[in-house]
Amino acid sequence: MTSYGFSTRAIHVGQDPEPITGAVTVPVFQTSTFAQDAVGKHKGYEYARTGNPTRTALESAFASMEGAAFGVDFASGLAAEDAILRMLEPGDHVVMGNDAYGGTFRLISKVFGRAGIGWSASDLTNPSDLAENWPENTKLVWVETPTNPLLTVVDIEAVAEVAHANGAMLVVDNTFATPYLQQPLSHGADIVVHSTTKYLGGHSDTVGGFVATNDGEVDSHLRFIQNAVGAVRGPWDVYLTLRGAKTLAVRMDRHNDNAAAVVDLLSGHSAVSTVLYPGLESHPGHAAAKKQMSGFGGMVSFRVLGGRDAAIRIIEAAELFILAESLGAVESLIEHPGAMTHLSAEGSPLEVPDDLVRLSVGIEDVSDLLADLEHALGAA
């Protein structure tokens, strides 16, 4: 199926009609265990923590979408990140961007930090600075692009060159871009991680995580952790995510279009001081985004005049944009990162501005979204 287009693979890879009944949709294999033909002889499945046919279908489909040889599903995006970080030993070091998801920062600094893993935050938009100031014992460089919540774009290929020259692996969180808009493995990344809760599932109805790689040793490690630690999802949640991903391409096209219209509105509004969106030619990472992305996504952040109080007034005045954490689903969301998703980074090098508002632009009628934003911005 590698010769087929993206949407075809999303719908068909790993999802052949079920052989006994001919069902065209992958069944929900709601079972905890599997009958064996003899001691030590089974049909490929023995216990649902170790493997489940519904999960196998998702892992095959999502790996194909990322252009990867291997894919492993987890109970959440952070469970997926945890499994990757368990490749490290005490004394090893992780470099992450100085603009990263608060949950990633918390996991690396406050969980793995206590286990003897060192970390530092670097401006990964400047790979030459990273090369000149390479931290000792660095084994992983952790990239988000675009980042959460400042929409910074990192040149994956350039950072991969620095990481590999120093014997480290490059991990790319591809949650914001999705494999439809960006495939980091083709730009030199070693590992790609997703919160499938977001765009891949796309409907705010299930939590999950996924890791893709072309490295067989990494895959073996991830599968060992998946089974040994047990951070796996039930088959119904896997099914919902697999179903959601079938429409990823058409949803992302709409997210792209709606976000571009929102950016046009924000860019000319008197209450807005700065719009952060990689599709803007004025964005510092626009050239890198054009090089490695086929579209600029549905996430938009902006800073407002009047500081935190004005930002809160805008957020609370919105009606169609729902005040909620998370992102990447069909409905539009609005939040204050400093007080919500990135509160754990307060006081750290990853602290975000308190006048920042983050939008996850959904797929509603764009005229309704623009009218709601006009109303909300008036509250500033």
Q: Can you name the CATH fold of 6-245?
A: Aspartate Aminotransferase; domain 2 (3.40.640)
Is the torsion defined by CA of 277, 280, 285, 287 positive or negative? positive
3-class DSSP string for 278-306? CCCCCCCCHHHHHHHCCCCCCEEEEEECC
Instruction: Please write down the long-range contacts of 189-193, taking CB distance under 8 Å and 24 or more positions apart.
Output: 189/143, 189/156, 189/160, 190/160, 190/214, 190/215, 190/218, 191/84, 191/215, 191/218, 192/66, 192/68, 193/77, 193/80, 193/81, 193/84
Catalytic residue among 45, 82, 99, 101: 101
Catalytic residue among 55, 198, 233, 303: 198
The residue among 175 and 379 whose pLDDT is bigger is: 175
Q: Which CATH architecture has domain 249-377?
A: Alpha-Beta Complex (3.90)
- For the chain, the C-alpha Rg in angstroms (whole number) is 21
Residue 344 has pLDDT above 90, yes or no: no
Question: 198 an active-site residue?
Answer: yes
Q: According to CATH, where is 3.40.640.10 located in the chain?
A: 6-245
Using DSSP's 3-state secondary structure scheme, residue 105 falls into helix
Question: 49 an active-site residue?
Answer: yes
pLDDT tens digits, 35-89:
999 998 998 999 999 999 999 999 999 999 999 999 999 999 999 999 999 999 9
pLDDT tens digits, 227-281:
999 999 999 999 999 999 999 999 999 999 999 999 999 999 999 999 999 999 9
Kindly report whether the global pTM for this prediction surpasses the value 0.85: yes
Region 351-359: mean pLDDT is: 92
In 3D space, the residue among 53, 49, 65, 54 whose CA is nearest the CA of residue 13 turns out to be 65
How far CA 179 is from CA of 10, 156, 294, in Å, comes to 10, 14, 10
Question: 173 an active-site residue?
Answer: yes
Question: 180 an active-site residue?
Answer: no
Q: According to CATH, where is 3.90.1150.10 located in the chain?
A: 249-377
